[in-house]
Structure formats: structure tokens, C-alpha cells
Chain A
Amino acid sequence: MSIREPNKTITVTIDGQECRGEWGQTILQVARANDIYIPTMCYLSKVEPIASCRMCVVEVENVEGMILSCQEKAIDGAVITTNSDDLYRERQNITKLYDVNHPLECGVCDKSGECDLQGKTIEFGVDQQTFTARDQHRPVQDWGFISYDPSLCILCEKCVRVCNEVVGDEALQISVGGYKSTIINTKLDQQCAECGECMAVCPVGALASTDFKYTANAWEMTRIPASCAHCSSGCQLYYEVKHESIDNAQEKIYRVTNESEFSSLCGAGRFAFDYANQAATQDATAFDRAVAALKQADTIRFSATITNEEALLLEQFRAAHDVKLVCDDAYGYQRFLNAYREVSGTTLYNASLDEVAHSRAIVVLGTRIYDDNPMVKYHMAMASKRHQARIAYFHPMEDARMQNLVTQFVKYEVGSEEGVAALLAATLLKGKVLPEALQSVIDELDIGNLSAESNVGEEELDALALSLWKKEGFTLIVGADLYNHPEAESIARWIAAIEKYGEFNVLIVPPATNARGVAEICTLSEMTEGYTVGYNAPGDFVLSALGDGDLDMPALNQQEGTFTTVDQRVVPTHPALPYGGYTLNALTNAFGIGSRHTIDQTIHLPEDKGFRPVAFDDLPDYFDAVGHEHRGYCLEAQSCPVNEAYTEPEDLPTYDGVLVYRCNEGNAFSPFTARSARESEKAILKGSAQFAAAAKLQEGQTIRFEQDGVSYERVFHIDTTLKGTVAIHPTWDRGLSAFALSSYRFAHLKFETTGNDDE
């Protein structure tokens, strides 16, 4: 009966039913796993017990008093009663207390119909208020994208918990004041992540989307299960749709919701849903021209914002018509994975988001993870909060938003990633049994020189080694800075060595929505050649879901199919809105490739790459009562030939002067995210005061520069949270050209000034 004996099986009796569980599970968890209902108001499966509502009390034989089932552990042999007259009376009384002075405005409240308080009030038959407390004047607060109505708030604290424990933002706090308690947003003027997680878990109408408010009732909308298409996390979500208005029958997405009890979304997933290509029609002439273009094509260039099925159609087309496939989003990533496999001997990296959340130490290398993949950052936050994880963040740019999570920030010189990877390997593999080839390369590393050139101090590495005393639960997260690095393959081998011999789990974060799937399915070339058809990418003939090409294509919220996520999971998505134009499948059909529906390909996804021969309609898509994810399936690892060839880094490249770092901040992943009405802000070049001085730029100046053949005109703003001489350079507003970038993320900035911002 000790927590010192983990994984011991326990048996308890709940309402006469014998239930098995594991030591450490709460009474409520065991009950739910066995389909036994216990009412709750503040319980949220994805966070630690909050214990504010007290409604989940139960009775336990031979234990005096009422026991809080959400927090108290199920002790082996306990005999538990979840319902009795006494329990009913107390739950009813708690409901009465919640209802005291709760405004009677269900008629106009957005939450009506899906409100937990409404539900409990009906469940416990509270139809009048028999006692009272002095009412308070508590006006509605505008938090920008969310409004907070304190008079509707029941102080369950779910919002505060997710903000702190899941998002790691620490923006929301309880302003304690007893009866006067409210929730406050402490980051209104700073950088609240604007993820809407708080609103998603609010059981009442206190936190509401400012845009959605008063536009639809919960019961009027149709919920379309889908997977988010903005980044590689492929989070579960529902598009909730209804006709536009009384005189416009066209379907419209009103909001995005999700299984917020178990999973989460970022701001893009929750609010940037309005990117469908709805104007598309079947223009037969354009279609014929597209077929002709494909016939003529030497190259098909496409973005990884694509389903697995479409990727398979392109691959089949490539094989049949001898064209090159170029995917700038995924090429470097695929090459990186291939090099990684030469060492690891397996197709799958061995970390998942869940493992990140359970880590005791995390090393992050080569990614501004806060922006690159919010879901990875959420899971790092969970590890930090729940497991006191040490988080070492290796990057040339400090990220002030991560300070509350990161325990060691290690700044390296731009370009020195290969050296850093080698230093990390030397540090993390010290004392491990290594193959001769690896050991000798490590022994020959000129640590002093690498350390000097990369600017990663040996004492910093010692501190890192020292912080790994917990012996297990280590995760290495690597990202997009590495995939297009000139020495990406060498870096990949070092990373794989750390995974293979260093008892590390490694997460190789895919740089775009379905880069993981494309990397498995398609045979990619590095450069375009000859006549190029672009699919959501520039080309001589362009197929575009943005509606600006030569032939319209459906956006991903108008498609059905699957994505392969950062978790190496194949997840299904469904169309939220009708689409009037042609699909890629229709085009390939003209060449005898594909079948009636795109999703007929799901079952044909390559088994030798780890996909399973499961038909689309047979893919599961739900979370069970205790939160296990049953969405699609996980790729199966395939073994690959091993060739452990490590190379000692040559002289590391140096990047002097002012630089830009390609990074789409603030939930703006791509041109699709940018299309959404919510993401209407302007892209700016953001740098530190030091950057401004080095570049001789003033706040508000407009400059023009060229990167990767794309021309940018940008207003420059000083951001006091940044340091150093690297500026943040967003690309999401540049249309399809944003999908044609495959250079190393850092670059020299050569610019001309064109004026001053008048605002």
C-alpha cells in the first residue's frame, strides 16, 4: 500500500462493482475507467486535481467523513460508495452555493446547452434560491480575443491550471479575495500566448471568445471531427459549422472546439480556422490546362501542407511520369531523418509528446520551439511543472517567454550547430559504452576549439551533465534550424548517437504540417528543374488552395485524409466546409492514378514505411473515458541498414554582422494561418536594441531586403525582450513563396531603407 511500490495493482469495490486499477490512481480515475459516474465541476483530466468544487466526494467504508475522490488515492481493498442520500444532499448544497447570485441569463449566455452549472442545477433539482449573500458589481472584462465575465465565474480554477500547468504561460492567476475572488490575466499587456485554452476548459460562460460571442447557440452547430493542419502536431479538433445567416445558406465555421478534457490546442488551431478556399468552382478549362501542365511537367513542387493521401498520389505520379518531386518544407527534414537512421537503424525517433511531458531533463537544440511547435512547448511546460524537469535550451537567441521553464540557457554562435551537436554527444555520452568508431571520433574531438568556436563553454556542458543526475527520463528535442544546415547529416548522426547510446529519447520536430508524412511517402529532389507545376508552391503552373493560382485546390479544412504528426501518428481529418473545385485526385485520375476518392489511398499508404493497411473509414478517432488517445494509429518502426560513420566537425562557419532568423511568431505558421481573419496583424521585422544599433536602424523604419529570392519590405520594430544581433524575420505573409524556402534559417541581412512607418 505504499507509493514506494509503483505499478502495484489494486482492487477496490465501487458501488458493489469490483474495479482494478494501479497504485497511485485516484478513486475518480478508477471509477471513470470502469464507467462509474461521479459528478464533478472542477475536475479536468489533463491536469493534476484542482479540488476546488468538492462535489466529487464519496463515502468509503470504515473511513469517517466524506472523501474527495478526485484527489484521494484508491487504496487497495477500499469499499467505496459514490451515491447516497447524504452525498446527494451535499452535492445539491454545493450546487445551491454555486447558484447563489449566478445571473439568470442562460437565455443569452453562449454556454447555454453545454454549461456544466446548468447541467448540475438540473441534475440536482435546484429550482430556487432559498438563501442569499450580498451581490457584487462585477463588470465584464475585455481580454482582447477573450472576454471574462466574473459574475458567471465559479472559480473552479481550471483556466488557471491549464495556463500554468499545460501552456506554461502563467498568465492567468486567481486574485484571491474569498467571496470577491476573480481570475486575472497578468499578461494582458505582455505576451499571453492567446491560445484560448482557458476558454476551452471553462465549464460555464465566464470565458468566451470575443468573436464567437452571441453568434450561435451550442446546439445549432454541427461538429466536424478533424485534425489541425497548421503545424506538425496535428491536434484533435472539431470545426463547428452552421449556415452563414438566415438569408445565406452557405456553411461557415463558427468556432473550433476540441476534446479539451484530454488534449490541447494553440491559438492558431483554435482561432485560425477561417482559411478555406470557398470561392472555388469547377472551371473545366483551367482543369484541362492543369492536366496539360502536369503532362509537360519536369518537376512538381509542393508544400508539406498536404495530406498523406495526396503525397502518395504525387509519389505515384512521380514514379509513373518520371518527374521530380520538390518539397522545400520536407526535403531537408527527410535528408536529416535518413542520416539519423544510418546510425539509429530504425525509421522512428523514439520520443513522443507524452514522453516529453514525462521527462526529467530536456535538451532543446536548434529550434525556437515556442513558435515552431506550441504543442511541444506545452509538453515541455508539463514536464517542468509536474516533474521539475531541467530544461537546457541551446540556441543563438534567448527566448524570454521560456524563462519560467528553462533552467539553463546556452547560447551558441549562429552556424555552429554541428560543433554543438558534437559537444553535446561528447558530454552526454561520457562514461557510456560506445562502439569503437564513435569512441575514437569523440576522443579526437578538439573540445577546446569546438567550445571556443561555438561559444558553448565547457563549464556550461559540465553544468548540463551535473543536472542530469536523475538518471532517466531524458529527452532531446531538435528542430528546424538543423535540417537545412550545410552539415545537417553530420548533425543528425550525432543526434542519433545520443539517442542510441545516451539513454535519451529524441524528438525530431517536423518543420511543417505533414513534413513527417511526406518524408516517408515521397522520393524528393533538392532542386526544381525545367517546367514546374507548383502545388501550394510557386511554379510555372500553380495549383493553389489560397485561391491565387492557375487552378484552385481545397484547403486542408475542406479535405478528408490523414496527416502524420510529430508523434509519428497517422491521424484522420474531415472536411468542415464544402468545396466546389477540383482536387489533386481528380487531376491524377486524368492520368489513371488514384481512384474515386482521395481517401481510397489511405489503405495503400506504404507499409514498408510503417503505415498500416487500414481503410480511412476504419480509423478510430476518439479519446476514451480516461483520456487514452485512439486517433488513427502510430507508425510502426522499420529497421534500416546501419552505417555508423561520424565525422569530426571541420572549422565551424562564422556569421558576423547583423542576421535575420526565419521564424513565424505568434501562432502564424503559414500563409494559411495568415488567411484567417484572426491573424490580421502585419508582419514586421523585430530586433533588439543592439540589433538596431548594429544595423543602424531606427524604430519604425521600413527596409527592403531579399532572402531566398523573395523580396521583403518590412517595418522594423525594436523588441526589448530580444538580445543580440539577430532579428526575427517572419514569412507567413508572402503567399506561396513562403512554402519555397529551404535555406538555413539564419542569414545575413543586406538591406536598403525605404522610409519611415507613419503610424
Chain B
Amino acid sequence: MSHVVFSTWRGEQIDNRGKDPEEYVASAYSLPEEYTADTRSKAFVGWDGVAIFEEEIDAVRLATEYAAQYQKYSEACGRCAPGRWGGRILYDLLDKIARGEGAFEDIEHLREVSQTMMLTSKCEIGRTVPKPILDLMDHYKEQFDACILEQKQSIHYDADKTYIAKVTAPCTDACPSHVDIPAYIEGVRDMQFADSLQATRQTMPLAHTCGRVCPHPCETACRRTNLDEPISIMELKRLGADYETDHGLGYLHPQEPKPLRNDGKKVAIIGAGPAGLTAAYYLALEGIKVDIFEELPVLGGEVAVGVPQYRMPVEKYNKDIELVTSMEAVTVHTNHRVDAERLKEIDAQYDATLLAFGTRLSKKVRADNERPEIKGYWGAIDMLDRVNLWTKYGIGSPASEELKGKTVVCVGGGFTSMDVVRCAVREGAKKVIMLYRRDEKTIIRNTTYEEYHEAVEEGVEFIFHSAVEKIVDEDDVLKSLKINKFELVPDPDGGRPQLVKIEDGDFEIETDFLIPAVSQAADLQILPEEWDIKLTSWNTILTNGKDYMTSRPGLFGAGDCEYGPMTIVNAVGQAKRAASVISRYIYDGEVSLTDEEIMEDHLQKLKVYDKNETITGWMPGLPRQVSEKLETDERKTNNKEVNLGFTGEEAIAEAERCMRCYYISMVAV
């Protein structure tokens, strides 16, 4: 709900002009009426209409500025005839009217050019830019007419006003890292793979990784879904990264890294996982000195020691990691555990410190007799550490020494539990069972369709609607599990169905291992007690989710230790923002956001993707491409990468489905 004077946003027709503010009709959308806490917006102009927050507004200048923003945007594009010339003509004609030199035939030409842009432009940006301009020309016609009739400037033509714009897309908005997805897809379409990678790296250094193991929230917000099926966004990211690696091209940065500043300022990062690496990368691009402290002997965090080789080959991940560690400004300290005492030292030595140590404590399944000392009770994080350290780095010893020929029960339902069971298969377990409280549909929603089906193909037995009641041991050696069975009982009042225990449904499973993979927690012993760092109710580090500063000035937190166990892309997005805030904080001691970031947050609140929108101008009926996977027999006894990725022709065909749904939004303040 927003307070507006006038709005055509998303098809609403609200006109409160001249009304008593008491009688104003409110907009149904979360429009950015407050730009920041102390700055009110005067107007919002976007791809789907305009919203005016003040009675006195210069609609002619507003339209001209919006057209000007498109000109600015198109300096990064301008790749279709209607967009390139049409956009320029829109701006030139609007400015002509605004400066008092327009004629009525200019209005006609504006309409003519607008129509061609709306019908034939390549990107959604060209198709949507005329929309709010035409709205303004229609609903504030008298202002345009006055400029033309009296050959005078628009009311605020020379006034000092600020117009802040941002280009986004539904997918970009939904991506926690706000990756410029249409740009990297365009790179694939054009077979300009270096361009594709550079587009990704603007906000996402881990292109190999997030081209393989990202749960792709972007695809849920893909406008193509409204037409047929979403673009296979995630997998298209691999092509640029693979191109760089395959041709040994050296690292392509989104911009030339700035020289090391050498001004005595330095930032400490605790943890070399996705969040730590990301923050280090973007600070280093700015020439700011960074030290990363990592407890493990290897870099990469959970993606290195948690995500298995068959999903995320370490040689590819290492390319992402080397991109960061090859930067002059980055120094890495492995085998360097930071405890509360050490953190106090670091805090004193560095201008800012980012906590990015993740969540590396396996939570319990909450069964009777759940004691870590029982042989056969093995936390998922420890188990995956063992598997990955050996298979990827030759550190330790093979997990097959424990698992070969054994029965393994995993309790879980998320990605980590999938990794546990599929690794157990590869380590030679005789029988692998996944226990899950809910149903098949939910496990697919929590992971992916592919993950679940591949696990089933590899022989993992899934038992749904079940939970461990009791762990049975003999002399501290695991023997069996007592399992409760549940059923979903619909709520007669229409609420969420309830899981109800089935009486007499209990059964027992004899097993050698129970691997709890229900969730992970942050190891908070690192925080000095006297700092009294504020925590969330989930026992993670509390920030405002915008600037990522903790309750202690100069101490920041990003990734899983801030959010709780979440995705790589979430950690990357948070860390990128934190790096940006830190890059200013270390100089002025202020916590601030750029206009770009403020707009990013506004748009996320407004929601860019509209699942009810009707798509025009595209041929429906083109399902998404599906990449080839290794056959079950080719993969289940080894660690070969399962997903072979798109062939070139599949990738191009998929990229051609992308509708390039760029939009411009602009706020006048």
C-alpha cells in the first residue's frame, strides 16, 4: 500500500489530483515513496507505469528524464534499430518540447516512434520505455500542450532536481547476487563468451560454481515461465567460465582492478568460503588490502569440503578461488583458526573485519539416546569433510574405509543430506536410506528435481513421513533406529495439513551409520563475550540485512553465519554488499549505501517479476533445454561430474529463448 497522488502502476488507474488527502485512494503496491529515511520521493517512473507522490510535478521533464535515462542505459547496449534510433528520437523530441521549442507534430512522431519501439524492440527495455512516457503525455497532457502552445520551458526545466535510475530485470531482482543475467545470456547467444563471463563477474565472482550448484531462485522469477518454461539460467553461466578455463585465457575481470592503494587501510575476512572470497574479490578490485583467515588447510569453505566432487569439480572451483587469490590485494592465511582472543587482536589491527565463517555445526535429529560418542553416529559436516578432503585434496583417508559394505541412514531433506546419501553410494555403502519428515514434493522443492531423481537412480531409498524416535546401541556401537511414521492429516478448517504420528506405524531399521543432516548452526564461540554481539533468534549474527554491520561498529557479518544455512548465491550477494559498505566505512566511518543499492532494495520490495503478466511478441511453445547427464552406471561408483553441461547448440538455442526483460525504474527526489 502506498500513498500516491497519481498512479498507473501495473494497470491501476488512481488519480487523486485535487482531492482532499483524506480521500486519497491508495496504491496497492509497495512503491518507493520514501527514497531513504530522510528523503521523500516525488515520483516513481517504471516499465509498467508512473506513480506520482506530489501534486506539483513537472511531467514533461519527468518524461524527458526517463527518456534520458534510457539513453544512458543504451550506452551499454543500443543493439537493435528501434531501440538505438528510436530511443534517441524520443529523447530529442521530448527535450525539444520541454525546452519550449516543440510542435504538435512532435507529439505525433513521439507516438509513432513509441509504437514501433513497443512492438519491435529487441529487449523489454525498448518495449517498455515508451509506456510511462505515453502515460504522462496522456494524463498530464495540459503540461505538454502548454509547453508547445506557449513555446515555453516546462515548469522545472532548469530546476535542480535529482533523478535516480536503475536498470534491472525480474531474474536479476530475484537473484540474491543481482547478477546481470540477460547480459551473460546475451554473451552466450552472441558466442562472445568472454563478454558473458565479464557480465557475470560484475556481481558474482564464483561463475564456475554458480554455473553448477546454484539453486537458481532467478529461474522462479523468469518471465519466460509466463509463456512456456523458464530459461535454464544457471547452466548458461558455465559457458563463460569454461571458456576462460578451457582456453587458458587468464582472468577476465569486470573492470581493470585498481592498483593497490597502499594507504595503510586493510580489511580482515574470517572464512574463505563463498562469502569471504566474494568480499575479498570486490575489495581487491577497488585496490583495498584484504587478509583472509581460514581455519581449514584448503580454501573454499563448504563448497570445497561440503559439496561433493561429482556436483562441483574442485578443479573448476579452484579457478574461481584463484581468481580471488591471484589479486595483488589479497593475502590468504590457511590453517589459521580465529577464536575469540584472536578476533580481538584482528579487530584491533584492521580497519574493518568481516565475519564469514558459515555454519559448520551439524544439528541433532532430536532422538532419544542421541549421543555423539556412539560409534556410527556421524555428523553430516564431519562426514562430508572426510569424503571431500580425501577425494579432492588427498588429505586424510578415504571415507570408504568406514562406509564400504555398510548400511547408512541419513536424516535430512535438504542439499546437504542429498550430498551425504549420494557420497555414501559412491563410497561403497551397501544400503543407503534417507529419512524425511515430509513428502516427495517437498524434498524436490527444497532441493531440485534433478538432485532427487539422480539420488533415486543411484539407489538411495527414500522413506518419507518418518522420523527417528530412538537410537539403539550396544556398548556405544550403533545397532538400529526406532522410526516413527507420520501421515498428513488435512486441517478441517482449511489450514495447513498437519503431520500426525501413525499409531502402530513404528518400525526398526538396522544400520551401521546414522548421519544427521537436518541443519547446521554457526559456531559462535568466536565472538568475544564482552562484545555482546546481537544475535538473531536463530543464533546467527544480527545485521539489518542491508549494510551487514553487526552491533559492533567495524565488525560485519555475511553469508551463512549471518543468515543461517542458505545458498552460495545468497552468501555472495550479502558479501558483495558488505564489501561495498566496508569500502566506504574504512575511510569515513559511516555506514552508507549507494543509490544503486538503495534502488536495488526498493525494487526487491516492489517485486519486479509479475507472474500474471501476459507476454506478447514471443513465440510460445519452446521448452527449455536439458543438458546431458552421465548415466547412472557411469557415475555412481566414481566422482565424475554428473552434469555434462549444455552442448554449444543447446546453449545457443536456450539463450535465444531469453526475452531480455530489462527494465528501467527511476525515482525523482
Say if A and B assemble together.
Answer: yes
- Using a CB–CB cutoff of 8 Å, the interface residues on chain A facing chain B are 1-4, 24, 27, 41, 48-49, 51-55, 57, 60, 63-68, 71-73, 75, 78, 90, 93-94, 97-98, 100, 130-134, 154-155, 157, 161, 164-165, 174, 176-181, 360, 385-390, 403-407, 469-470
Our pick among A154, A179, A403 for the contact of B71 (Cβ within 8 Å) is A179
B604 at the A/B interface (Cβ < 8 Å)?
A: no
Select from chain A the residue with minimum beta-carbon distance to B127.
A65
- Within the assembled complex, what's the spacing in Å between the Cα atoms of A404 and B614? 41
Q: For residues 101 through 122 of chain B, which have their beta carbon under 8 Å from a beta carbon of chain A?
A: 106, 109, 112-113, 115-116, 119-122
- Cross-chain contact A97 with B623 (CB below 8 angstroms): no
Instruction: Classify the interface of chain A: helix, strand, loop or mixed.
Output: loop
The interface residues of chain B lying within 8 Å CB-to-CB of A180 are 75, 78
B246 adjacent to chain A (CB < 8 Å): yes
Interface residues on B, range: 35 or more
| B616 and A64 form a contact (CB under 8 A) | yes
> By the criterion CB–CB under 8 Å, are B84 and A178 in contact?
yes
Known: A90-B119, A181-B78. A75 touches B621 (CB 8 A): yes
Task: State the CA gap A52–B644 with chains docked (Å).
Answer: 32
Known contacts A48-B191, A178-B71; A131 and B619 CB within 8 A of each other = no
- New A-B pairs, 16, CB < 8 Å, besides A64-B614, A93-B113, A386-B652: A48-B652, A65-B618, A66-B120, A93-B82, A94-B81, A94-B120, A131-B106, A132-B89, A134-B92, A155-B84, A157-B79, A176-B78, A176-B79, A179-B78, A179-B84, A360-B647
Q: Is the CB of A133 within 8 A of B88?
A: yes
Q: Are A131 and B75 in contact (CB under 8 A)?
A: no
State in angstroms the CA–CA spacing of A531 and B646 once bound together.
Answer: 62
Judged by a CB distance under 8 angstroms, whether B159 is at the interface is no
Establish whether residues B247 and A407, one from each chain, have CB atoms under 8 Å apart when the complex forms: yes
Is the pair A1, B621 in contact by a Cβ cutoff of 8 Å? yes
Contacts of B77 in A (CB 8 A): 176, 178
Contact B248–A177 (Cβ < 8 Å):
no
A131-B86 in contact given A154-B81, A386-B191 (Cβ < 8 Å): no
Given that A97-B82, A181-B78 are contacting pairs, would A131 and B620 also be in contact in the complex, using a CB cutoff of 8 Å? no
A131:B93 contact, CB within 8 angstroms: yes
12 A-B pairs (CB sep. < 8 Å): A3-B625, A24-B653, A51-B80, A52-B122, A65-B119, A75-B621, A97-B85, A133-B92, A154-B81, A178-B88, A181-B78, A403-B248
Q: Which B residues are in CB contact (< 8 Å) with A161?
A: 190
User: Residue B22 at the A interface, CB < 8 A?
Assistant: no
Q: Which of B75, B191, B620, B644 contacts A164 (CB under 8 A)?
A: B191
Whether, in the assembled complex, B651 has its beta carbon less than 8 Å from a beta carbon of chain A, the answer is yes
Name the B residues within 8 Å of A157 (CB-CB): 79
Beta-carbon contact of A67 and B81 below 8 Å: no
Neighbouring A residues of B82 by C-beta, 8 Å: 54, 93-94, 97
Q: Is B456 interfacial (CB-CB < 8 Å)? A: no
Please give, as numbers and ranges, the residues of chain A lying within 8 Å of B189 by CB-CB distance: 48
Give the Cβ gap from B102 to chain A, nearest Cβ, in Å. 12
Choose from B80, B190, B622, B625 the contact partner of A54 (Cβ within 8 Å).
B80
Distance between Cα atoms of A243 and B618 in the complex (Å): 52
**Residue B413 lies at the interface, judged by CB distance under 8 Å to chain A:** no
Q: Which of B89, B617, B648 contacts A389 (CB 8 A)?
A: B648
Chain A CB count within 10 A is highest, among B88, B112, B115, for B88
By the criterion CB–CB under 8 Å, are A97 and B81 in contact? yes
CB distance from B40 to the nearest CB of A (A): 32
Asked whether A131 lies within 8 Å of B120 as measured between CB atoms, the reply is: no
Q: How far apart sit A130 and B110, CA to CA, in the bound complex (Å)?
A: 12
- Shortest Cβ distance from A161 into B: residue: B190
| A72/B81 contact (C-beta < 8 A), A54-B120, A406-B247, A470-B647 known | no
B424 interface residue (CB < 8 Å to A):
no
Complex interface: chain B residues within 8 A of A48 (CB) = 189, 191, 652, 656
- Contact of B92 with A132 in the complex, beta carbons under 8 Å: yes
Given the known A-B contacts A73-B622, A154-B81, are A178 and B192 also in contact in the complex, defined by CB atoms under 8 Å?
A: no
A residues within 8 A CB of B119? 57, 65-66, 90
Interface string of B62-80 (1 = CB under 8 A from A): 0000000001011111111
Q: Once bound together, how far apart are the Cα atoms of A388 and B190, in whole Å?
A: 13
Q: State whether the Cβ of B649 lies closer than 8 Å to any Cβ in chain A.
A: yes
**Contacting residues, chain A, for B78 (C-beta < 8 A):** 155, 176-181
What CA separation (Å) do A404 and B244 show in the bound complex?
A: 9
Residue B488 lies at the interface, judged by CB distance under 8 Å to chain A? no
Residues in B whose Cβ lies below 8 Å from that of A78: 619
Enumerate chain B residues within 8 angstroms of A389, measured Cβ to Cβ: 648
From A48, which residue of chain B is reached at the shortest CB distance? B652
- Considering the complex, which residues of chain B in the window 595-649 have a beta carbon less than 8 Å from any beta carbon of chain A? 614-623, 625-626, 644, 646-649
A386 near B649: Cβ-Cβ < 8 Å: yes
Chain B residues whose CB sits within 8 angstroms of the CB of A51 once the complex forms: 80, 122
Question: B179 in the interface, Cβ–Cβ < 8 Å?
Answer: no
Contact A65–B617 (Cβ < 8 Å): yes
**Distance in angstroms between the alpha carbons of A595 and B150 in the assembled complex:** 89
- Whole-angstrom distance between the Cβ of B339 and the nearest chain A Cβ: 42
Q: Which single residue of chain A is at the shortest CB-CB distance from B191?
A: A385
Closest to B195 in A: A173
Which residue in chain A gives the minimum CB-CB distance to B93? Answer: A131
Question: Nearest chain-A residue to B238 (Cβ)?
Answer: A388
| Cross-chain contact B648 with A387 (CB below 8 angstroms) | yes
Minimum CB–CB distance from B82 to chain A (whole Å) comes to 6
Given the known inter-chain contacts A98-B81, A165-B191, A403-B247, please indicate yes or no for A133 contacting B75, CB distance below 8 A: no
The interface bits of chain B over 224-255 (1 if a CB of A lies within 8 angstroms of the residue's CB, else 0) are 00000000000000010010001111000000
Which A residues touch B74, using CB under 8 A?
Answer: 178-179
Chain B residue contacts of A57, Cβ below 8 A: 119-120
Q: Is B87 an interface residue (CB 8 A)?
A: yes
Q: Nearest 10 A-B pairs (CB), nearest first? A: A65-B617, A178-B74, A65-B616, A178-B78, A387-B648, A388-B648, A64-B616, A97-B85, A72-B619, A179-B88
Q: CA A401 – CA B113 in complex, angstroms?
A: 45
Tell me the minimal C-beta distance from A379 to chain B in angstroms: 14
Q: Complex formed: what's the CA distance from A64 to B85 in Å?
A: 25
- Give chain A residues whose Cβ lies under 8 Å from the Cβ of B625: 3-4
Q: For A178, what are the chain B residues with a Cβ–Cβ distance below 8 Å?
A: 71, 73-78, 84, 87-88
Alpha-carbon distance A135/B88, docked complex (angstroms): 11
Known: A3-B622, A386-B191, A386-B652. A179 touches B122 (CB 8 A): no
Residues of B within 8 A of A60 (CB): 619
Q: State the Cβ distance, A558 to closest chain B Cβ, in Å.
A: 40
Chain B residue at minimum C-beta to C-beta distance from A358: B649
- CB 8 Å contact bits of B178-191 with A (1 = contact, 0 = none): 00000000000111
B652 touches A97 (CB 8 A): no
- Residue from B109, B120, B617 whose CB has the most chain A CB atoms within 10 Å: B120
B116 surroundings in chain A (CB, below 8 A): 90, 93-94, 97
A181–B75 CA distance with the chains assembled, in angstroms: 8
Determine how close the nearest CB of chain B comes to the CB of A465; give it in whole angstroms: 13
Question: In whole Å, how far is B484's beta carbon from the nearest beta carbon of chain A?
Answer: 42
- Contact check, B112 vs A100: say whether CB atoms are below 8 A apart: no
Contacts of A4 in B (CB 8 A): 623, 625-626
In the complex, are the beta carbons of B120 and A90 less than 8 A apart?
Answer: yes
Interchain CA distance A387-B247 in the complex, whole Å: 15
Instruction: For the complex formed, measure the closest distance between the CB of A706 and the CB atoms of chain B, giving whole angstroms.
Output: 39
- Docked Cα-Cα span, A154 to B653, in Å, equals 26
For A173, the closest partner residue in chain B by CB is B192
Measured between C-beta atoms, what is the minimum distance from A203 to chain B in Å?
Answer: 12
B618 / chain A contacts, CB cutoff of 8 Å: 63, 65, 67, 72
Given contacts A57-B120, A404-B247, contact A164 B192 (CB under 8 A): yes
Report chain A residues within 8 Å CB of B616.
64-65
For the complex formed, measure the closest distance between the CB of A37 and the CB atoms of chain B, giving whole angstroms: 18
Q: Please, how many angstroms separate the alpha-carbon atoms of A176 and B615 in the complex?
A: 28
For B109, give its contact among A49, A130, A155, A403 (CB under 8 Å): A130
- A-contacting residues, B433-458, CB 8 Å: none
A178 CB to nearest B CB, Å: 3
Complex contacts, A73 vs chain B, CB 8 Å = 619, 622
